[in-house]
Structure 1
Amino acid sequence: MTTTATPATTEADPPAPPEDPLATRRVAPRRRYGRWVVTAIVLALTVEAVRALAANPAYQWDRISYYFTLDVVLDALLVTLEVTAVSAVVGFVGGVILALGRLSGNPLVNALSWFYIWFFRSLPLVVLLIIIFNASLFFPRIGINIPFGPSLVSYDVDGLLVPFVAAVVGLSLNEAAFAAEIIRGGLLSVDHGQIEAANALGLSPWRRLRQVVLPQALRSIVPGYVNQLIGLVKASSLVYYVSLVDLFGIVYQLESTHVSDKVAILLVGTAWYLLLAAVLSVLQHYVERHYSRGWEVRR
């Protein structure tokens, strides 16, 4: 009996999926012709503006280099920097005190802080400077008196309020009002849970403020206050109204006496203010980048 072997059956291979024609195509970026056209137009206008400025003889570029480093201009620039620096420090300290007063639970302290901020933010700075410079009309002498008794120390106001002091006092009073709101906003930005945790640890109000609240509030306070400094630099130009010759004052005097170089002198003043604002803007950039990484809360 002959046995016939049956051939082994093998499963057929599954059919290959159809090739996607889109898979072999190269993805090309979208061509934005409108953006290229706008870029070309803006670039052409910028080049033309720069060429017009450089080729225009009315700008007196040769005289700008002379006035830019003139001794009287540099001395006036130093006065502007000194007034701005002192006013910034005093204004920041006053702003901290006022901000804490606005957050105080004492109704009298809160009301007085609110009134100060409202008054000095509402009063034009030039009017404030003129009033302070003429303070002797209101108070010829100031001093320390015993209540309903004799005076212990007394000073002549005219001798105290020299132009530099009057400028610093006026700018500081105005700066403190604006700084107070920046600082108060930064303090209020701290999560209330952090304050509750500090209270649960039994920290005193001063330690809670110094070790928990302020390190976190500085993330909002410092960048905003650096931006406020740019406004302070521009506001310092008003000190000329109290007979203090700053950068604006010397530019005003020079362009009045050298009429033929008026354009060059005005451009020098503009360039110095732009340079100061640029330095503060760069500082603001790095400060914001530093505080955006966060601040470690101290133990």
Structure 2
Amino acid sequence: MSSTTRPAAGGAILPPEEARSVPIKAIKLRHPWRMVFAVLLVVIFVSVVVDAALRPAYDWPAVGKYLFDRRISQAAVVTLQLTVYSMVIAIVLGVILAVMRLSPNPVVKSLAWFYLWIFRGTPVYVQLTIWGLISLIYSSIDIGIPFMDPWVSFSTNAALSTFTIAIIGLALNEAAYMAEIVRAGLLAVDRGQEEAATALGMSWSQTMTRVILPQSMRVIIPPTGNEVISMLKTTSLVTAVPFSFELFTRSRDISAETFNPIPLLIVASIWYLFFTSILMVGQHFLEKRFARGVGDRQPDRKDAVGTGTGTLTGVVPVVDSGQPSVIAPPRQDDPPANPGGVK
């Protein structure tokens, strides 16, 4: 090994043992105003909590009374059912629409774009109201060849309950947003991945299930988790259908009986917070699961011995000027520091 260390231009030449032995003393910066701001926020938070605990309008005994009321718990289960059923249909339909949007067929692509334009351009409450009036628009559901006598015909009111109509309305609206999320995830995967899979002899389905979709999931899952949480809260709008057995509408009906709406609104909020907290935890673990390996790869480190250059990069702790001196790697046109190898 050479007896001296060669620093960057302008640095001093130090013996190796001296360059390695000087420690760095780090002094933590002080932020007094940051601490003052934090204390102020804590004081405001505690004041709000104490005020809410002592304000009689909240009526906390009534909140405890109705929090686990059978009618409220049943409505909470119905809200979960609306969320799950609507999201499953929306995800499946969203994937189909995303593939249609990426199709080279202009007719298929235009139909998908028209669907997204309609359902993303109108409020979901308006859509649910129209779905609630579907029996006035279509009094019967006919199955058969168009413009001919139907093979089977039955009343719309008998075939579709308000619960089913609420699911259809929520799912069709959400599918428009899921289509864009899935399309963004598919486009985030490099085109070379598909080309490499095709070169290996994989079919389209194998390429999508084994190559494209697993890589796109880390892009799709975060916004999808947000959409599930949003769907849970959007179920409160199905009263437009009208469907009155979900959490918000049920708590509102009970408050109309007790003439005390604020505690029932708090009860509904607590249940919503409980469900969204569970969904957020599940979203966190799903994101962690599909993000494995992203950003974990460390740059390759070559051993200085036997590489032909024997060049190290780093920082020399002390130099004559009092400032650290960075040892930069040599350029490709520079001769190696030790042409004969390290000895």
Regarding TM over 0.5, the answer is yes
Match of 2:285 in 1: 286
Counterparts of residues 216-255 of structure 1 (less than 5 Å): 216-244=215-243, 245-255=245-255
Preserved contact between residue 77 and residue 246 of structure 1 (Cα < 8 Å)? yes
Counterparts of residues 124-273 of structure 1 (less than 5 Å): 124-244=123-243, 245-259=245-259, 261-273=260-272
Structure 1 CA distance for aligned equivalents of residues 247 and 133 of structure 2: 23
State the aligned residue count: 272
Q: CA deviation at 1:72?
A: 0.7
Specify the SS of the correspondent of 1:143: strand
Specify the SS of the correspondent of 1:155: strand
Structure 1 CA distance for aligned equivalents of residues 238 and 25 of structure 2: 66
Counterparts of residues 23-172 of structure 1 (less than 5 Å): 28-172=27-171
Runs of 4+ in 1 over 3 A off after TM superposition: 23-28
Specify the SS of the correspondent of 1:151: coil
Greater shift in the superposed pair: 52-61 or 191-200:
52-61
Preserved contact between residue 91 and residue 175 of structure 2 (Cα < 8 Å)? yes
Paired letter, 1:197 = A
Greater shift in the superposed pair: 173-182 or 216-225:
216-225
Structure 1 CA distance for aligned equivalents of residues 268 and 274 of structure 2: 10
Greater shift in the superposed pair: 265-274 or 80-89:
265-274
Q: Which runs of 5+ in 1 are unaligned?
A: 1-22
- Normalising to structure 2: TM-score of the pair? 0.75
Q: CA RMSD in A?
A: 1.9
Structure 1 CA distance for aligned equivalents of residues 199 and 256 of structure 2: 66
Q: Which runs of 5+ in 2 are unaligned?
A: 1-21, 295-343
Structure 2 CA distance for aligned equivalents of residues 96 and 294 of structure 1: 25
Specify the SS of the correspondent of 2:151: strand
Structure 2 CA distance for aligned equivalents of residues 209 and 36 of structure 1: 51
Structure 1 CA distance for aligned equivalents of residues 27 and 157 of structure 2: 77
Paired letter, 2:248 = F
- Evaluate the alpha carbon distance shift between residue 39 and residue 105 of structure 1 in structure 2; reply closer, same or farther with a 3 A threshold: same
Q: CA deviation at 1:87?
A: 0.3
Greater shift in the superposed pair: 282-291 or 62-71:
282-291
1 or 2, which has the higher helix percentage?
1
Paired letter, 1:48 = S
- Normalising to structure 1: TM-score of the pair? 0.86
Preserved contact between residue 252 and residue 261 of structure 2 (Cα < 8 Å)? no
Q: CA deviation at 1:24?
A: 10
User: What do residues 157-187 of structure 1 show as CA deviations (whole Å, max 9, x unaligned)?
Assistant: 1112211011000001001111100001000
Match of 1:276 in 2: 275
Match of 2:7 in 1: none
Q: CA deviation at 1:224?
A: 1.6
Structure 2 CA distance for aligned equivalents of residues 28 and 113 of structure 1: 59
- Evaluate the alpha carbon distance shift between residue 119 and residue 43 of structure 1 in structure 2; reply closer, same or farther with a 3 A threshold: same
Q: CA deviation at 1:27?
A: 5.0
Q: CA deviation at 1:239?
A: 0.9
Match of 1:14 in 2: none
Match of 1:5 in 2: none
Specify the SS of the correspondent of 2:81: helix
Specify the SS of the correspondent of 2:103: coil
Paired letter, 1:91 = A
- Evaluate the alpha carbon distance shift between residue 206 and residue 50 of structure 1 in structure 2; reply closer, same or farther with a 3 A threshold: same
Q: CA deviation at 1:85?
A: 0.7
